[in-house]
A and B are shown apart, each in its own frame.
Chain A
Amino acid sequence: MSETEPTFSPRPTDERDELARLEAQLAKKKVEVNGNTEFGKYDTTVPNEGEDTYQTYLDQRPAEGVVRDGESFRDNGKFASADAYAEQNGTAEAHYDEVNGIETEVPSTNFEDLSFMQLASELAKANELGDRAGAQEIRAAAEHKIMDQITRPGYETADAETEYADEVARFNATADKLSKTAPNEVAEATTVQPPLETESVPTSAYDSEEEEEAGEATPVSPNVALDSPINIPEANPTSIEVELPVFTEVTPDANEQVLLNGKNVAKEGYMTLPDGTKLFRVTNAEGETLWAGENVLEVSNLDDAEVQAEPDNAEKEGRFARVKAWAAANKEKHFDNFSNKYMAKLFTMYNSVLDYRTNDSMDSGEIDRIRNVNRKALIIGGAALGVLGLIGIGVSLTEHAGDTDTSSLPDMGNGDGGASAEGQAAADAAAAEAAQHTAEEAATTQLFDIPRGQGGLELFRNLGIDPSKWAANAPNFPSMFPNDFTVMDGGGIGIKHSGWISPEAQEFIKKLR
């Protein structure tokens, strides 16, 4: 059997070229894969048994913890803080789960637990992000809450449908306003000091008593005479950045003043808050720069009769000014105690102050009875604070305007209208005595405006109180009036702050005279 020569036929040129090309590609790929292998790209991590996620890893090592310490990390055998634990337990867990291809459930927000303002804020964010599904969910939660309030047992309304529609519209308007106020950003709540370039709006302000009208949430209470930084509450984690107004200098003018600790000081400038309220910059006697709010006194706006009645009587002018400032800051609150709107809010609000001492086992009649008792106590408490508020600025509720012309006032007294000469003389004497008494009281009260550094003993001396009474009473003061007196480092008793002492402390001390 003869062997036959194999038949060789040369490959076509194009096939040889294709082979060369593929061999070159193979060589290139080998280099690439080998390189990646060297650099560990294809390494796999097999978790220890029972440690499929970072959480389970942590769970099996409760005593371990690598925590951030400045710019480095350290292992101190345990987590340094809840934040440190949360830091690793949260983002790192999600990271490792993602690396391992483990799907984790994204915790969903329980919108039912949020306040209306928080919901409005969430809705604003959802609208901004174009999250229509989220927005719908938030709206549903808000509408549900509104419906719950309106259908709450014991709540009566003439037109529930209209009220519901109004509340929903109010909610949507608030969300719209928040969207317009904060076009892009949602920032962490923080503490800022004026003036800064941005200010945070506490979103939960929607639920506060002052925010009755839709969309009128303000970053700072306009009523505050600010001698401290504007504090944005820590308990309010979500807030929205808005622009702070620009500070505007004004030329100090005797006619544009601010009441500060009972004294008028000139405005030096102002900034306007987003709600239109002005905060005025002033400098106190100690040279400190302060910010004053609503208790702004514009002397030029006082009635002419008030200014002209006794232009040289600074004390009287001061009393007028203080009462005017008190009324400007508090009048609305006291009138509100009797407004249907405020009471309706208290009676319909979930777990309001009126529900104090009620429980679910009570029938509606008993609950209503307790709520009415609570309403009365609430009003009495408000009245008491009003009375003491006036005392605190050195003015009694019944203090008269002194020389104010009362001839036009209606006769509330005996009614015979034809006073005899003796009667008139007696009335004049009584009026003079009353005026003298008032002036003395006012002068005494002024002594409770404590200058910086003044001690309690000096206060007693100024008031004409025997120093031995200071020694006898002072040890009780820190517990009786903790806002005014304190135990000092050396064990002595000192006045806690400069400025006005609380009305109740004033009353107590006056009685020691």
Chain B
Amino acid sequence: MSEDDQLIAELEIQHLAPEQQQRVLENLRLQIGEALVKDFDDAQLAEYQAIIDDDTETINKWLADNAPDYKASIAYQQLSEGYDGQPESVSPDKVYAYMAWVEKNSPGLAETVAQVKAEVKDNIDSYK
């Protein structure tokens, strides 16, 4: 089951039209991001901004410092499958780093997400 489908089931919004479901899910992601950002300082935010802005030097350095053997991880191997290395293609290193960074820098990740999910679920009508 995809993450979206799992979330749709968790939030019990199967009855909504697809575009309304996507609206709820995008708002959920935004709210989760906002909740997590509160715990980051400026340096952390700048580092993450560099990662998502495709700053290869920052990505490589962060991975070397924080997940030196990331290429051996099962998740990375799946993410990198099919990567053609073309300049216009999104690098699996970047996608891996964008998730690993959040995992590393958000000790209360699970609790925060659970709380935001509950809030969004309670306010589904406002996202329609």
Contact = CB atoms under 8 A, between A and B. Distances in A.
A398 B67 contact: yes
B124 interface: no
A389 B112 CA distance: 14
A327 interface: yes
A295 B1 CA distance: 6
Interface stretch (A5-13, A131-139, A167-175, A332-340): A332-340
B18 A233 contact: yes
A386 B99 contact: yes
Given A221-B5, A233-B16, A334 B95 contact: yes
A323 B78 contact: yes
B110 A376 contact: no
Interface in B33-56: 33-34, 36-37, 45, 48-49, 52, 54
Contacts of A479: 118
Q: Which of B27, B32, B49 gathers the greatest number of chain A CB atoms within 10 Å?
A: B32
Interface stretch (A27-35, A52-60, A459-467, A504-512): A504-512
Contacts of A324: 78
Contacts of B121: 482
B2 A398 contact: no
Given A233-B15, A329-B3, A480-B114, A400 B69 contact: yes
A204 interface: yes
Given A333-B3, A338-B94, A397-B73, A353 B26 contact: yes
Q: How large is the interface on A (under 10, 10 to 19, 20 to 34, 35 or more residues)?
A: 35 or more
Contacts of A265: none
B123 interface: no
A381 B75 contact: no
A263 interface: no
A115 B5 CA distance: 23
A435 interface: no
Residue of B1, B2, B64 contacting most chain A CB atoms (<10 Å): B1
A433 B18 CA distance: 46
B57 interface: no
A381 B74 contact: no
Contact of A335 (B2, B23, B28, B95): B95
Interface stretch (A100-108, A361-369, A407-415, A416-424): A407-415
A399 B74 contact: yes
Contact of B33 (A329, A379, A395, A410): A379
A384 B36 contact: yes
A337 B98 contact: yes
Contacts of A326: 75, 78
Contacts of A409: 69, 71-72
A333 B48 contact: no
A224 interface: yes
Contacts of A235: 15-17, 20
Given A323-B78, A327-B79, A333 B4 contact: yes
Interface string A204-243: 1101111000000000010111001001011110000000
A385 interface: yes
Interface string B84-123: 0000001000111011111100100111111101100100
Given A207-B19, A383-B99, A387-B109, A398 B33 contact: no
Given A381-B29, A398-B73, A409-B69, 12 more contacts: A221-B2, A231-B14, A335-B90, A380-B33, A383-B101, A387-B99, A395-B75, A398-B70, A398-B75, A409-B71, A412-B69, A503-B113
Interface of A: 115, 202, 204-205, 207-210, 221, 223-225, 228, 231, 233-236, 293-295, 319-320, 323-324, 326-327, 329-331, 333-335, 337-339, 352-353, 356, 374, 376-392, 395, 397-401, 404, 406, 409-410, 412-413, 479-483, 502-508
12 contacts: A208-B21, A327-B78, A327-B79, A352-B26, A356-B27, A376-B33, A376-B52, A384-B36, A390-B75, A401-B77, A409-B72, A507-B111
